[in-house]
Structure 1
Amino acid sequence: MHLGANVLVTSELGADSRQRRWVQHGSARLGSASPSENYPIQAFPQQQCSFGSPPHDELEPRPRGAVKMGACSVLLLLLWLRVLHTSAEDSDGPLACACDKCQDAVECRGIRCFSSVKVDGGVVLFERGCLKNDQQAILQCSTSPSLKSAIYCCVQDLCNANTTRSALMALLPSAPEGEPVPYRVETLALFILAPVVVLVVLSVVSVLACRRLHRGRLQRLQEFDTEQGTIDGLISSNVGDSTLADLLDHSCTSGSGSGLPFLVQRTVARQISLVECVGKGRYGEVWRGQWQGENVAVKIFSSRDEKSWFRETEIYNTVLLRHDNILGFMASDMTSRNSSTQLWLITHYHENGSLYDYLQRVAVETSEGLAMAASVASGLVHLHTEIFGTEGKPAIAHRDLKSKNILVTKDLRCCIADLGLAVTHSQADNLLDVGNNPKVGTKRYMAPEVLDESIQTDCFDAYKRVDIWAFGLVLWEIARRTYSNGIVEEYKPPFYDQVPNDPSFEDMRKVVCVEQQRPFIPNRWFSDPTLSALVKLMKECWYQNPSARLTALRIKKTLDKIYSSLEKGKES
């Protein structure tokens, strides 16, 4: 409704003249009053408000004019209070708001308009409407945005009509630290698949790198073949029709005097077929193979033992190393089997196996035991002896002599094998070549000076004396399995009753160095002349002082003498 308010303002322009002015206040919306109802403000019609300045010649005070001024001020104050009240009532009136869920209408009326957004299970719900009362408006509009919902309130007609979903989504805050964030299915799948994809890629890269490394090794071998000459020419020669014995005999007169010439080695290695695995050791496996119908032994080193393979190949290729009591070396090669690099060492094949295996299966007669011991001593003499001349041989110390590294031939003689830890010495240049293999020998067969670390590592004779100590233990093993008056002991390794099956370095040091114990000697040995002589010999190999031990040559001559005495006793 509209009210007409007329205000009469009188301005005093002089002492006797006055002018009236009517001011139309205007119209205002006010409750339910009639729009035609006017309120002329003439509560004091006979009083006039003077706003002018008094004339300069009027010096007397005018108390009545002051009263008029106060009445006008009160009237104006009441007028402005009425206007403010009318505006306040006007702002609290019903507003027209855009509505999304109103039945049969797109608008609703209330005291506030709102727009809201809510995230539920990955679905965004957008809604617009109005709030009907103050309590609802205070509760809804004072709520701060959360991770899943936000509301926007406004107080103008249709103020929420242009509010968009994206604008409200921008009001949603990010998750504070420590609170879980709801994941979408796509996000969860990404977090699961990403590590799997990374692992697959790394696996593929690793396989490709290994194959490339393997091809690089084979390429280096092929380049080396090219530098040395073509193998095809060798294969087309009489090598394919020659027997192993013919090749080895030829190598004694034209070659290193040990194995086959290098290119022939490569040819032989590539013509060998593996038949069966006959043993496994610290450095790999030993297979029985066949080359042109003949049995050969193939020792396959793992790639981590390349230094042992290289050292043994280097020693076997030494000039004039060939000997009846040294394992016959044929060839060595680096080849590829089952996508892995293998290091081959090809030697003669002895079906009786190692002395360790043979003594566990078979007990020997006195003459057989002596022959075995003498053959081992003969091979040790050949290793320890330096041969001078144009085609000479350096002195060699084995450093890992034991029954497992000694093979038994068909005629029940022995030959020394496994030279991977060997040390060489040449008097011409006084050069001691220990090799580049950090591994040491077998702890059960270590000499006292090795166990207490008092060995002179720069003295070649010290390494030879270590071999003598180990030979004394091998001699004890043979004696245990040698018949005497029909009696023989079962096979046992040295110090079997004093240390565990796999003794530690400290176990052996305590028994050998501190307590100075030696392997047990049965009483029956002293009743047999041959075994009694062997007991005396092995004790001279076990002196605590290395310098007091016998040399290999002295041992060989003593064994030959004992063997001769035994043969004479049989004849008589």
Structure 2
Amino acid sequence: MRGAPGSALRAALPLLGIAVSLCAGLQCVCQLCEHTNFTCQTEGACWASVMLTNGREEVVKSCVSLPELHAQVFCHSSKNITKTECCYTDFCNNITLRLPLAAAAAAAAAGGRAALAAAVAVPLAAVALLLAALLARSARARRRRPPSVEEPPCEPGLAGPGKTLRDLIHDMTTSGSGSGLPLLVQRTIARTIVLQEIVGKGRFGEVWHGKWCGEDVAVKIFSSRDERSWFREAEIYQTVMLRHENILGFIAADNKDNGTWTQLWLVSEYHEQGSLFDYLNRGTVTVEGMVRLALSVASGLAHLHMEIVGTQGKPAIAHRDLKSKNILVKRNETCAIADLGLAVKHDSVLNTIDIPQNPRVGTRRYMAPEILDDAMNTNIFESFKRADIYSLGLVYWEIARRCPIGGVTEEYQLPYYDLVPSDPSIEDMRRVVCEQKLRPSIPNQWQSCEALRVLGRLMRECWRASGAARLTALRVKKTISQLCVPEDCKA
């Protein structure tokens, strides 16, 4: 990915930028843009890429933004897996793009892995050794992962010498659009991940622990019938300037067709401690640990809710399904908010709310009163943020109960565990929350600890019946940060 062609490309980029700026609004073919008649518009370039997948060539066409073009990665071909071309006239990517040894690659379907290796010009002796190693590794792993997962060659050079996946994401985020890795790089990473074992299941599908070039990643595999959730979550995660230490780090999205069904992948950072729900179930927390967890959740939510104005700005986003199972605990005992498939974005210029076309609703146990009694004004974006704050108060209650007071710790429970069934209906929750106006109980013992006393007061402020009377995420964050000892709590 280095050498004379790269130098020539870097030298040509300023001229290309000038040419593109003279004719803003370049029209390109876009295979993923069904809602715009398979076209997209950009000030950057049109691009087409071809990737070898399971012995056959797969072509993708779309737009490259100007920041991505300047990042000097998007238009590079990968020597083993992909060939890519960028061009600068309307619909110029409507071309037939082939890998250099396409004939040999086509033979891979009939000739198996040896023909595929020959297609990429690997010496025959090396092929034999490579096949032996791959088959041995495949036999060991076959029982632990879906039969559709392939093991294409890893490309550690994608990140550059000595660079980690985190370094690659940081470089592309700071030098590019701030919205994460380019689509081509995402696909290259996704197709070189080796799945290890299942670490979770949900209504969307499964979460796997995977490896990319020796680094841990999490792979959320959606069922094909939940394509809208997959697409929406990938779209939200790639919002400009969304990346934050207390929001789950997105890496890649890819749809992988194995000929029988389509797997929808969402690749993110891997946090071995699991969800906050799992973490609190496993053990107790110290006062400092409780404050650290609470502050980091508030920090992530405040960043999500905040609008950043400017060319590289960020819209305000509401989560809509905040709960302990959708929050992950990092190695440093702080939290990262995850699962953004139901999130909504606010366009302050047009004053419009981008609500996903998704039949799913949030989790009933954590729904705000105005949602339960169908009184929420969905035309006002603040309503969605206020509903998040209500859910935040319930999450804080879960955390605080696991903090020992006088040597006594409450057992872990979900909010309203003593008032509704284990799988409550909307009506169950509405009766308790709206009609009886009940909330989780706050023990008197909390008054003996300053941090618990303040957190208890915040909970009451968060789950008020009137959404307008609730605190903002930023106010919650500032209040909790005042409880922190600098060496104990950083967020």
* TM-score (ref. length: structure 1): 0.59
Q: Give the Å deviation of 1:224.
A: 2.1
Unaligned runs of 5+ in 2: 1-52, 65-74, 85-153
Is 1:505 the equivalent of 2:426? Answer: yes
Larger radius of gyration: 1
Maintained 8 Å contact 2:292/2:488: no
Residue in structure 2 matching 1:516, options 434, 437, 442: 437
Q: Which residue of 1 aligns with 2:247?
A: 326
How many Å separate the matches in 2 of 1:521 and 1:440? 28
Q: Give the Å deviation of 1:527.
A: 2.2
Counterparts of residues 22-61 of structure 1 (less than 5 Å): none
Residue in structure 1 matching 2:58, options 222, 227, 236: 222
- Secondary structure of the residue aligned to 1:224 is strand
Q: Which residue of 1 aligns with 2:292?
A: 371
Q: Which residue of 2 aligns with 1:269?
A: 190
Deviations 1:458-485 (A, max 9, x none): 1100000000000000000000001222
Residue in structure 1 matching 2:256, options 314, 320, 335: 335
How many Å separate the matches in 2 of 1:219 and 1:450? 50
How many Å separate the matches in 1 of 2:380 and 2:346? 9
Structure 1 residues 250 and 524: alpha-carbon distance in aligned structure 2, compared to 1, 3 A threshold = same
Residue in structure 2 matching 1:530, options 451, 471, 477: 451
Is 1:391 the equivalent of 2:274? Answer: no
How many Å separate the matches in 1 of 2:288 and 2:353? 38
How many Å separate the matches in 2 of 1:219 and 1:258? 32
- Secondary structure of the residue aligned to 2:229 is helix
Residue in structure 2 matching 1:548, options 449, 452, 469: 469
Q: Give the Å deviation of 1:288.
A: 0.1
Structure 1 residues 219 and 441: alpha-carbon distance in aligned structure 2, compared to 1, 3 A threshold = farther
Residue in structure 1 matching 2:402, options 451, 463, 481: 481
Counterparts of residues 389-428 of structure 1 (less than 5 Å): 389-428=310-349
How many Å separate the matches in 2 of 1:223 and 1:295? 28
- Secondary structure of the residue aligned to 1:496 is coil
> Which residue identity is paired with 2:416?
F
Is 1:441 the equivalent of 2:277? Answer: no
Q: Which residue of 2 aligns with 1:239?
A: 158
Q: Which residue of 1 aligns with 2:266?
A: 345
How many Å separate the matches in 1 of 2:488 and 2:407? 19
Maintained 8 Å contact 1:468/1:551: yes
Q: Which residue of 1 aligns with 2:117?
A: none
Q: Give the Å deviation of 1:520.
A: 1.6
Is 1:380 the equivalent of 2:216? Answer: no
Structure 1 residues 275 and 390: alpha-carbon distance in aligned structure 2, compared to 1, 3 A threshold = same
How many Å separate the matches in 2 of 1:419 and 1:513? 27
Maintained 8 Å contact 1:480/1:488: yes
How many Å separate the matches in 2 of 1:523 and 1:338? 61
Q: Give the Å deviation of 1:556.
A: 0.3
> Which residue identity is paired with 1:299?
K
Is 1:255 the equivalent of 2:176? Answer: yes
Q: Give the Å deviation of 1:522.
A: 2.0
How many Å separate the matches in 2 of 1:427 and 1:560? 29
> Which residue identity is paired with 2:235?
E
How many Å separate the matches in 2 of 1:521 and 1:220? 61
Unaligned runs of 5+ in 1: 1-216
Maintained 8 Å contact 2:180/2:238: yes
- Secondary structure of the residue aligned to 2:394 is helix
Counterparts of residues 284-363 of structure 1 (less than 5 Å): 284-337=205-258, 339-363=260-284
> Which residue identity is paired with 2:233?
E
Maintained 8 Å contact 1:397/1:463: yes
How many Å separate the matches in 2 of 1:224 and 1:262? 10
Structure 1 residues 407 and 302: alpha-carbon distance in aligned structure 2, compared to 1, 3 A threshold = same
> Which residue identity is paired with 1:500?
P
> Which residue identity is paired with 1:301?
F
- Secondary structure of the residue aligned to 2:336 is strand
How many Å separate the matches in 2 of 1:237 and 1:563? 40
- Secondary structure of the residue aligned to 1:298 is strand
| Percentage of pairs with the same residue | 56
Give the alignment's Cα RMSD to 1 decimal: 2.5
Maintained 8 Å contact 1:367/1:566: no
Q: Which residue of 2 aligns with 1:100?
A: none
Maintained 8 Å contact 2:327/2:336: yes
Q: Which residue of 2 aligns with 1:280?
A: 201
> Which residue identity is paired with 1:432?
I
How many Å separate the matches in 2 of 1:277 and 1:471? 28
How many Å separate the matches in 2 of 1:475 and 1:544? 17
> Which residue identity is paired with 2:252?
A
Q: Give the Å deviation of 1:365.
A: 0.1
Deviations 1:291-310 (A, max 9, x none): 00000000000011100000
Q: Which residue of 2 aligns with 1:79?
A: none
How many Å separate the matches in 2 of 1:531 and 1:237? 47
- Secondary structure of the residue aligned to 1:223 is strand
Counterparts of residues 65-214 of structure 1 (less than 5 Å): none
How many Å separate the matches in 1 of 2:382 and 2:354? 13
- Secondary structure of the residue aligned to 1:239 is helix
Tell me the matched-pair count.
352
Q: Give the Å deviation of 1:336.
A: 3.0
> Which residue identity is paired with 1:224?
V
How many Å separate the matches in 1 of 2:166 and 2:63? 28
Structure 1 residues 226 and 514: alpha-carbon distance in aligned structure 2, compared to 1, 3 A threshold = closer
Maintained 8 Å contact 1:256/1:317: no
* TM-score (ref. length: structure 2): 0.68
Maintained 8 Å contact 1:298/1:344: yes
